[in-house]
Chains A and B, each alone.
Chain A
């Protein structure tokens, strides 16, 4: 019986995500403790329940059907993203919500799932080859269209996730090193340009070397390099047109001491919270940073401080280890899957989780800029929790069907 269960039911994935969800509920409770808290926690509890139901639904959904409806549901989600731009509710400057009574739905969270599935479906077609320029452009387009719609909301954080999660799935799908280098180059150069002339020239050199080493033909390499150069040069212009709050975030990341009471405040307090936790933490509901609300909106983007402060290095390590184990587990499923759609989708899901984890935790610890994206399973928020649990359900589904072609 157990052997059968092990063969067809992904207990490991489920347990890892349950640990993370439990840690999330505990953290949200602590972060909102006594500040009109009960309501926030109860909502999250309901969403966790809804998420588990979604997980089970995704886990037992017929895989072939899933593959068939991947494109239609992607197109449907693009439509939803368009509609939300027009009629959506604006929360903190970003039109990304549908109001349903007292609840809000954030379609961009579900668009991630749809995009991953659509890209996986495209890559798994027997005719698709990423060495074909036309196919490559279609693959890029599948990601770039929703990304631009999200960027228009404007939600910079989520659109960055869209872009970065594209890389592992393209890599997995067989994109040559040159293609990856050509996609990476402009990003590196743009980031370098933000840091100043020297960094710009250095990253430009790096891009040139990367493109040269991976080149397939000189013309393509030259084009890719030119694009990087133009993007790098236009960074200042784009920076000037960014909303002030985002300019501030970037400037504060480059030099956090610039504004310790303003944009740098969250990061500073978040670092203080995590650092003051020490090895064993201050104890549950005993974290002064958390309980005295030193970190604004902690229960969303800065949730990682709660285990960091109250459970210390041990608690924070548990979170990191579970996440990493889940990512490796996802890669393992991708590796084992005989079905190309399942394989590519698994890598896509790992890409989504990995990108969120890296950016969110990196930002909480002050090694990455403050980009407002949630930490999967832990951050407060219904849409994200349901979408993330759905993706775990998909991983479980692919695990169970790993031997199917």
Chain B
């Protein structure tokens, strides 16, 4: 075999030398690029690495009512902090006793703190009592790695709870933490319900940072550049509500005294701001500030009376006769009837083989009288003239079937039936116009929230403008130093002055004229208007409704009262609305609280099912 001529030739030596030099050149070029060309940028990154930011908590914004009364305040809260690396486990029994925490809980919290940083302080326990603080302070010299800091928590200086409106803030949960990201960390407080949640971005303020240099193992060795780069925390913005906190407290007490469950919504009809929003049963929001004991939280959640459930925004009951104005508006506006149109109420209405009865025989009745006396027969026959589709369209124009856009949290869209809805529900051709007879008087599938009703009655009060209901009117922007008005949507329902005038006249007579169903809502010295209603409840006692506004000529308040399982609207809901209007109009009650008055009956839902269905 031939000897290999190519072994280690000078040519191959040169090539290998060239390869080595090439590799050297590439690495040197990269080194030059990193250390000379990119030096500035990479040096900055490295500096960021050796500096730590300590978080300085901001003060959460305050909440005021429309008259400048402080509704939600901020008070001191003491939080125990731990530096995991400095804590001596031999002190565990002492710490456990002082803070009334089990060693296992402390260990678990400490492990989380260690994951953030072993050398920086993390929260161990929030909102300790003053007695615990005193005891801790005494032992502090013994407890290395333990300190406390003053933080803020909510306090409520007024008599009103307004729990469903104000909402509450709580320590951020792991799930929330994963969702909201960056800004928050373990132990932070975040608005969780109501205004506290919706306006979290305004209320929370901005965290401040104190920059410290850390040594090789992350221990703080001093301030960084003498604190020149520190950022002072920024206070949260204040909210200024449409609420009249006196009225709110009064409305709550009316519900409490009578032990009602239900909702009251009072609204300024000129702009949709909420004067009061009550949902009963409720809870004291103060128990949510600081640390809520787990068993209390569990009890609130499992209470069968559902105190956490906002009945003003989330219930979806039939509106009963309070809905009759929708049909009246449709008939008048479409020119189907006018005030001269009369029917003869014989106390019953037949369609097909079914008969719907009225409680009274109203005789010759026009649209104004039909509202005044709540004549069912008038509306039973009217829906056939107006048509299901038109009725449904006017209901939607008044905002039914869609959310109101309230800023206090979750709400229901309600149900506004239409032919399409029935087609979807029962199947095309499987329902008859007979189904719509009940709808004409606000029974059946139609479902509304008290908030939607407030928006509706406010529109009737103000001449036909549908306002977006809102709790917050202004924000005190601490960055600009200005009080800023928050924008709100509004749109006309699209009714002529004549239509509005007739409906309003009917509603005035409901309260002010003999034969009206809500004379109990009268307020001395002012003209008031309204409508009673009763929501059929197949599961129990009916729900009572009253919607109204006052004064008649220039309304300043629209009120909706909804009482669950309390029977007829005229009897209990109307007098409460009267009291609320009186309180708001005069600033106080000008009469002694009314004696119990025997029930006066609302129009009735006596429905006789003749069919075999």
In angstroms, Cα B27 to Cα A361, docked, is 8
- Smallest CB gap from A367: residue in B: B30
- Smallest CB gap from A346: residue in B: B8
> Among the listed B24, B41, B45, which residue makes an inter-chain contact with A324, where contact means beta carbons less than 8 Å apart?
B24
B116 at the interface (CB under 8 A from A): no
State whether B216 touches A34 (Cβ < 8 A): yes
> Among the listed B7, B26, B214, B217, which residue makes an inter-chain contact with A34, where contact means beta carbons less than 8 Å apart?
B217
Which segment of A66-74, A76-84, A328-336 sits at the interface? A328-336
State whether A317 touches B31 (Cβ < 8 A): yes
Q: Which residues from 254 to 307 on chain A have a C-beta closer than 8 Å to any C-beta of chain B?
A: 269, 271-279, 288-289, 291-294
State whether B20 touches A331 (Cβ < 8 A): yes
Contact residues in B for A308 (Cβ distance below 8 Å): 31, 34-35
In angstroms, Cα B15 to Cα A130, docked, is 19
What 0/1 readout, one digit per residue, does chain B (73-95) give for beta carbons within 8 Å of chain A?
00000000000000000000000
In angstroms, Cα B13 to Cα A344, docked, is 12
What 0/1 readout, one digit per residue, does chain B (187-198) give for beta carbons within 8 Å of chain A?
000000000000
Which segment of B46-54, B383-391, B397-405, B542-550 sits at the interface? B46-54
State whether A320 touches B27 (Cβ < 8 A): yes
In angstroms, Cα B28 to Cα A316, docked, is 9
Contact residues in B for A176 (Cβ distance below 8 Å): 6
Contact residues in A for B3 (Cβ distance below 8 Å): 126, 129
State whether A292 touches B216 (Cβ < 8 A): yes
State whether A173 touches B7 (Cβ < 8 A): yes
- Smallest CB gap from A273: residue in B: B46
In angstroms, Cα B5 to Cα A128, docked, is 11
State whether A358 touches B27 (Cβ < 8 A): yes
Residues of A within 8 A of B (CB): 33-35, 123, 126-132, 168, 171-176, 269, 271-279, 288-289, 291-294, 308-309, 312-313, 316-317, 320-321, 324, 327-328, 331, 334-335, 340, 343-344, 347, 350, 354, 357-358, 361-362, 365, 367
Report the tally of A-B residue pairs with Cβ distances under 8 A. Answer: 145
State whether B4 touches A128 (Cβ < 8 A): yes
Contact residues in A for B214 (Cβ distance below 8 Å): 292
In angstroms, Cα B18 to Cα A327, docked, is 11
State whether A292 touches B218 (Cβ < 8 A): yes
In the assembled complex, the CB of B30 is this many whole angstroms from the nearest CB of chain A, namely: 5
In angstroms, Cα B15 to Cα A344, docked, is 15
> Among the listed B1, B12, B26, B216, which residue makes an inter-chain contact with A291, where contact means beta carbons less than 8 Å apart?
B216
State whether B49 touches A171 (Cβ < 8 A): no
In angstroms, Cα B4 to Cα A172, docked, is 11
Contact residues in A for B23 (Cβ distance below 8 Å): 324, 354, 357-358
Known: A129-B3, A316-B31. A324 touches B49 (CB 8 A): no
Known: A129-B2, A174-B4. A294 touches B49 (CB 8 A): yes
> Among the listed A130, A131, A320, A347, which residue makes an inter-chain contact with B28, where contact means beta carbons less than 8 Å apart?
A320
Known: A173-B7, A174-B7, A340-B8. A365 touches B49 (CB 8 A): no
- Smallest CB gap from A343: residue in B: B8
What are 26 residue pairs bridging A and B, where the CB atoms are less than 8 Å apart in the complex? A34-B217, A127-B1, A129-B3, A168-B16, A172-B8, A172-B12, A174-B6, A272-B49, A274-B31, A275-B41, A275-B43, A277-B35, A278-B35, A278-B36, A278-B43, A308-B34, A317-B31, A320-B24, A320-B28, A327-B20, A340-B8, A343-B7, A343-B8, A344-B7, A362-B30, A365-B34
State whether A334 touches B50 (Cβ < 8 A): no
Q: Which residues from 107 to 132 on chain B have a C-beta closer than 8 Å to any C-beta of chain A?
A: none
Scoring B8, B21, B45 by chain A CB atoms within 10 A of each residue's CB, the highest score goes to: B8
In the assembled complex, the CB of B184 is this many whole angstroms from the nearest CB of chain A, namely: 18
B17 at the interface (CB under 8 A from A): yes
Scoring A274, A334, A362 by chain B CB atoms within 10 A of each residue's CB, the highest score goes to: A274
Q: Which residues from 270 to 298 on chain B have a C-beta closer than 8 Å to any C-beta of chain A?
A: none
Contact residues in A for B12 (Cβ distance below 8 Å): 171-172
B361 at the interface (CB under 8 A from A): no
Given contact pairs A316-B35, A331-B20, A340-B8, enumerate 11 new A-B contacts (beta carbons under 8 Å). Answer: A128-B4, A129-B2, A130-B6, A174-B7, A278-B39, A294-B49, A312-B35, A328-B17, A328-B20, A335-B8, A344-B8
State whether B46 touches A289 (Cβ < 8 A): yes
B421 at the interface (CB under 8 A from A): no
> Among the listed B31, B36, B46, which residue makes an inter-chain contact with A288, where contact means beta carbons less than 8 Å apart?
B46
State whether B35 touches A292 (Cβ < 8 A): no
In angstroms, Cα B24 to Cα A324, docked, is 6
State whether A272 touches B217 (Cβ < 8 A): no
In angstroms, Cα B13 to Cα A276, docked, is 38
Known: A289-B46, A347-B16. A365 touches B31 (CB 8 A): yes
Contact residues in A for B28 (Cβ distance below 8 Å): 317, 320
State whether A171 touches B16 (Cβ < 8 A): yes
B431 at the interface (CB under 8 A from A): no
State whether B4 touches A130 (Cβ < 8 A): yes
